[in-house]
Amino acid sequence: MDFLEDLEWRGSLKQVTDAAGLRKAMQDGQIGAYVGVDPTASSIHIGNLIPLMVLKRFQLAGHKAVIIAGGGTGAIGDPSGKKNERTLLSLEQINDNVEAQKKQFQKLFGHDDDFSIVNNNDWLGQLTLQEFLRDYGKLFSVNVMIKKDVVASRLDAGISFTEFTYQILQGIDFHELWRRENVRLQIGGSDQWGNITSGIDLIHTLEGNDAPAFGVTIPLMLNSDGTKFGKSEGNAIWLDAEKTSPYTFYQFWLNQDDRDVVKYLKFFTFLTVDEINELEVEVKDNPGQRLAQRRLAQEVTKFVHGQAAVDEAEQLSQALFSGNISDLSVKQIQSVFSGVPSFEAESHAKNIVDFLVDGGVEKSKRQAREDVQNGAITINGEKVTDVAFEVDPQSHYEGQYVLVRRGKKKYFLGIVK
């Protein structure tokens, strides 16, 4: 399969402006493709990963991957996907975000000649208002611009002139990369179709109708329940290990629904057709084994964080399953148990019954005593059955945490004051 056929099989292709022309351009020699990412945060998230996976496949097909770190467009705000105007960040914050995101891009794409990161502020920031209006504004028809989906969807609620002009800026980006980096293809989500075609039109206006310029868009990715991928719990899954730990990242993929896992294996991994087809059979025949989910978690976590992160995530999962958690490090405790109910714990030793009630683990001393005597309570991985036991917060995890388990699965984290 060629690049486009592979995308189609993986469910990663929504629209292409000129499939035959793009195939010929890719066959004639190495060309560039780009994805733009506006630095609205200090980390990219799995939503950003969607177009980046397509760009990575383009790179693996022997071509050059280019990412625009949108220092210029990020100061304006892309109207697509939003019902209201974006909150503008300070230029200092945008620059900090650009630098932070660059490190993540380099982990995904490497440091070779077939990859580069550019900042569109290098050219957009040099344009005067007069040059913008004279050299570019004259080339865009308002009548055409307001019919683009990204603008039309906002007309009833209202759209500022600032965000209205975003498609012009994105068109300038495409043309600049066409000139500077031999970029012939722009890749984006399906909501970017109008912006992408505006850029192609600009290139044809400035460079001639025969100038090779193409666009590929990706379908909107939805979970099987109809919710937007990655947003079902309302919390972003970040690629920055400080924002979302590799363990949490691994667990996100491991917990995918059987109805979604094959789709995500196709989209987010570089496994072959045969490998994915075999895993699809496993989903149907042995769903309880969750082999497909585990492979998905392994592959995506390895791509983003490396093999060592996969190994640690699986070790932590096994420790959590077995209850053998007494030897976990403070950082691992923070990674694994950051989302469990927590309470403040005093630094001195306290009777276990009082400790459980004061921490809200148990509702009453009677219930606390019963659970302890029945072997339902573990403290820092050790089962406690003596109601006279003293919980010493200084005994584990550098005196920072006390980890309580009630029953088989219910955890509570005492944070030592």
Q: Write out the binding residues for ATP.
A: 231
Pick the closest to residue 191 from 171, 218, 214, 230 (CA basis): 218
Q: Which residues belong to the annotated binding site for L-tyrosine?
A: 34, 166, 170
- Identity of the residue numbered 405: R
Residue with tokens 């290098």: 122
The CA-atom distances, in angstroms, between 286 and each of 259, 264, 266, 318, 414 are 14, 18, 19, 21, 39
d(CA 50, CA 58): 13
Round to whole Å and give the CA distance between 50 and 265: 13
* Contact call for residues 69 and 221 (beta carbons, < 8 A): no
Secondary structure letter of residue 112 according to DSSP: S
CB-count exposure of residue 217 (10 Å: 0-12, 13-18, 19+): buried
Binding region: 34, 166, 170, 231
**Can you read off the two tokens belonging to residue 111?**
């440091």
**What DSSP string describes 331-370?**
HHHHHHHTTS-EEEE-SS-EEHHHHHHHTTSSSSHHHHHH
- Best CA proximity match to 296, nearest among 339, 265, 256: 265
As a dihedral over the C-alpha atoms of residue 166, residue 34, residue 98, residue 102, rounded to 10 degrees, the angle is 170
Take residue 298 and report the two structure tokens written for it.
């392994």
